[in-house]
Amino acid sequence: MAAEPTTPSPRIPILPGRIRNPLVGSAVSSPAPAGAVLALAGSVAVSLWVVLAAAQRRSFLSPPARHEFAPWLVGPLGHRLPGLTSDTVTLRTELTVALGILAICWLCAWALAARVRIEWVVAALVLVHVVYALGPPLSLTDIFNYLHYGREGARYGQNPYAALPLSVPQDAAYPFSNWHHLPSPYGPFFTLVGYALAPLPLHTAYWTWKAVAALASLGCLGLVWWLAVRLGRSPQRCLVFAGLNPLVLVYGLGGQHNDALMLLCALGAVALVVRGRALGSPLWDVGAGAAIVAGVAFKFSLLGLVPLVVLGARRRPAALAGAVAMGAVVADIVHGVFGDHLPATGLQDRLVTPLSAPNLAGLLAGAGGATAGVRSASHVVLVVVVLAASAAVAHRRDRLVGAAGAVMLATVLTLAWTVPWYVWWVLPFAALSRSRALKAAVVAVTVGLALGAVPQSTQLIHHFGYYPTRTPVGHADHAEFERLLH
């Protein structure tokens, strides 16, 4: 029997001074450019300074630590920066400068990352995750809101979707939380994570959640790397763009927020779609549909990606079946565990930040801010974007990543309540997309959200004659915020 002919392996040209790593999927230069290494090191060094500053003494940098500056909360980096200024105005200026340096490092590292060994990029990303995980929670108290919602249900038998957090003020997490009049706005899967942590002592649950949040974020970056190789992108550039954004570092990782769990499901769904295109089994597409609905069950912000994942799958009926099956699981949990109560997303939707796009649009339109009508119009805009993105993916499945980035960008921009780390929702998809416009939009959104995040934001908007609470709409929005907060 004649032997089958063999196909010779294609020769890969090796350029002088460059090597090709098949594991990385892109050429890397040797040695790495000094500017890129300096930018990566700068991200780590400035992040370390921010965390050391927050862990030195009580300050606005860590609201929970202002309540109790205890070793279990501050972490092992406490009191390691004795020369830190005690002047609040100076510290606010230094934080703003730190954010600016992180932004420069992010953009420089992204521009030069393709010529850096992947090990340098991974090392920088792991180090910043470790640094932020070891410090106190930065900027807000959300980590204790998460823990309190879970303890409210698992320890005291109160439904966190129906009962207010102030119904159990005796819990150890209550003094560190702040949304005392807001039922949980988080999805049922995430609330179950809180239930799982509830039996633990508060300090153990706190550090467990910090580890979960950091590992979930690293898992997202691992999927970005995997996808970049298979989509023919530079893994180094994708990892830097997705992982070293200054707002994600300081406010996302620093605040130990739950967005990484949502994104882990979304990126997992996209990875399963990509894998399903290469392999014959429909199980990959079933898994993709199930994964994206699971992401919605962590946070409803992913809802617009569900039709995109189903339409982007090689076997759309299989992906739809997976989505429906996971939807049935979620519905069963909502019925059996939470008595058919849903997260309080409607209440949260009424909250407004002064520089959100709907609020600014309402001001420019003469409505005084983000009225109910303006918010409804924003929802219509988001639906139109989702439909257009779905049509694009239905026509060409390989548009899934870019379409997902466009939908998540629209999701951020149509929210009346936007906080700095929401740019995280767009970053991995923009990093993996070939669209320069999407990347430019992410940079612009980062700048816009940073203007509302820096400590001088109030003085800045007042300098331009904008006083958010002086209109009837703005005053009502602020009153609603204060009512839910305290």
In a domain, 451, yes or no: yes
pLDDT digits (tens, 9 = 90+) for 278-323: 887 899 999 999 999 999 999 999 999 999 999 999 999 999 999 9
Q: Flag whether the pTM goes above 0.85.
A: yes
Residue 280: its pLDDT value, please? 76
Q: How far apart are CA 399 and CA 145, in angstroms?
A: 37
User: Is the alpha carbon torsion for 468, 379, 301, 147 positive or negative?
Assistant: positive
Q: How far apart are CA 241 and CA 260, in angstroms?
A: 16
Burial-class residue 453 by CB neighbours within 10 Å (0-12, 13-18, 19+). Answer: buried
Question: Which residues are within 8 A (CB) of 103 and not within 5 positions of it... i.e. 6 or more apart?
Answer: 246, 446, 450
Identify the segments of the chain with pLDDT beneath 70. 1-32
Residue 27: its pLDDT value, please? 42
In a domain, 167, yes or no: no
Q: How many domains does the chain have?
A: 1
In a domain, 397, yes or no: yes
In a domain, 293, yes or no: no
Supply the range of the domain harboring residue 398. Answer: 352-416+418-486
In a domain, 382, yes or no: yes
In a domain, 358, yes or no: yes
Residue type present at position 336:
G
In a domain, 482, yes or no: yes
pLDDT digits (tens, 9 = 90+) for 54-99: 999 999 999 999 999 999 999 999 999 999 999 999 999 999 999 9
Residue 282: its pLDDT value, please? 94
